[in-house]
Amino acid sequence: MIEVNNLVKRYGDHTAVDHLSFKIEKGKIYGFLGPNGAGKSTTMNMITGYIASTEGTVTIDGHDILDEPEQAKKCIGYLPEMPPLYFDMTVLEYMNFVADLKKIPKDKKKSMIAEVMEMVKITDMKNRLIKNLSKGYRQRVGLAQAILGYPEVIILDEPTVGLDPKQIIEIRDLIKSLKEKHTVILSSHILSEVSAVCDYVLIISHGKLVASDTPENLGKLAEGSNTLNLTVKGEKDKIRTALGQIGGVKNVTVADAKEEHAWNVTVSTNEDSDVREEVFFKMADAKCPILEMQSKKVSLEEIFLELTEDDKKSKTSDKKMEVNSAGEAEKILEAQNGETDKKEGEDK
Ligand SMILES: Nc1ncnc2c1ncn2[C@@H]1O[C@H](COP(=O)(O)OP(=O)(O)OP(=O)(O)O)[C@@H](O)[C@H]1O
């Protein structure tokens, strides 16, 4: 349906979108997730042909957005971050205006406008001036103009920003209902929103794709990554070997600790494995006393934060870019844990 290949947008020296590639399939809801300034709006503006890319291509149903803009744009309905509304028009006048812009045939115009207004629940407001509408209703009118003409793809930039909780739930339900007939791409910086609404999540940080998977798989990744942080005294290899023998342990990293002859050890386990007792007995058998033990469950929020954090750990940022499945992300998180531990040791 949509193919984005090596998309780049530079503003002077600043790279807002950095070699982004992905495919969007029909009939699903896709979520662009990323902190403010990650490049979500810039990407959406390029997909919709609102701004040109510096490099790379976007094709929609086989039409390049820059070479065949009319055919490509026909397939898209777009709700930008700031809905393009005319405040001095009534809702109905505005809908007619948009229908004419979209070249909706005259014989279908009236019924389609009525249908879309009913869908987004603005029929009661049709004679109200847009400037007199609440933020929630303005957002609905924005959504209505995106849906009008029933384009195959509907792109929504931060569709629930500034709405109250009730309006957020209503707009989310509406977006979910669009899936029956449309492919939807929405952007958000709210993890829970994307998990609640989307079939597939693309996490963007500093203009790069750092992870993409279903919310379930990203969730499994979070649930599946319990971690034990230990400080253990003894021989490094002995500790590693003994811990590695415990069932359910996926990974063991050992790094320098503050205390002499002690190590910071991170043990990653499967989601349902509680290995604390076994770790205790194994270390006792190996005569390696445990000085500290802390159990930690990695949440989806933490994974999101890890993946989108500022490039403090530039060492790991290149690896992050390669993440494109839960499995790979898991490996990288484990690697990052190891590096963090080492860093702590090196500092002391
Ligand atoms: N016209 C522009 N000129 C210069 N820099 C820009 C321009 N538009 C966006 N940027 C920069 O590009 C980066 C990405 O911005 P973008 O608006 O795409 O992010 P975003 O993920 O949509 O964030 P937000 O949720 O805050 O809108 C930011 O650093 C922003 O300052």
Domain limits of the chain? 2-214, 220-347
Residues with CB under 6 A from ligand 1: 11, 14, 16, 34, 36-42, 81, 189
Read off the pTM: 0.71
Question: What is the distance in A from the centroid of ligand 1 to the CA of 136?
Answer: 24
The string of pLDDT tens digits covering residues 149-193 is 999 999 999 998 878 888 888 889 989 989 888 999 999 888 888
2-214 has which fold? Rossmann fold (3.40.50)
- Mutate which of 8, 14, 15, 194 for ligand 1 pocket (most atoms within 8 A of beta carbon): 14
Question: What is the distance in A from the centroid of ligand 1 to the CA of 17?
Answer: 9
The string of pLDDT tens digits covering residues 330-347 is 333 333 333 333 333 333
Whether CATH 3.30.70.1340 fits 220-347 = yes
Give CA–CA dist 249/244, Å, rounded: 6
**Do 2-214 and 220-347 fold alike per CATH?**
no
Q: How many residues does the chain have?
A: 348
- At position 278, the amino acid (one-letter code) is E
Across the chain, what does the average pLDDT equal? 83
Question: What is the distance in A from the centroid of ligand 1 to the CA of 36?
Answer: 8
What ipTM describes this predicted complex? Answer: 0.94
pLDDT for the residue 277: 93
Which residue's alpha carbon is at the smallest distance from atom 25 of ligand 1? 36
pLDDT for the residue 161: 84
End-to-end Cα separation, the chain, in angstroms:
53
Residue 153 burial by Cβ neighbours in a 10 Å radius (0-12, 13-18, 19+): buried
CB-based contacts of 267: which residues, under 8 Å, 6+ apart?
227, 228, 230, 243, 246, 249, 251, 252, 275, 279
Closest C-alpha to 143, from 180, 105, 186: 186
Residue 132 burial by Cβ neighbours in a 10 Å radius (0-12, 13-18, 19+): exposed
Task: Pull the structure tokens for residue 290.
Answer: 């445990």
Whether the predicted pLDDT of 285 surpasses 70: yes
Q: What is the mean pLDDT of residues 92-102?
A: 95
Closest C-alpha to 182, from 1, 57, 23: 1
The string of pLDDT tens digits covering residues 251-260 is 899 998 888 8
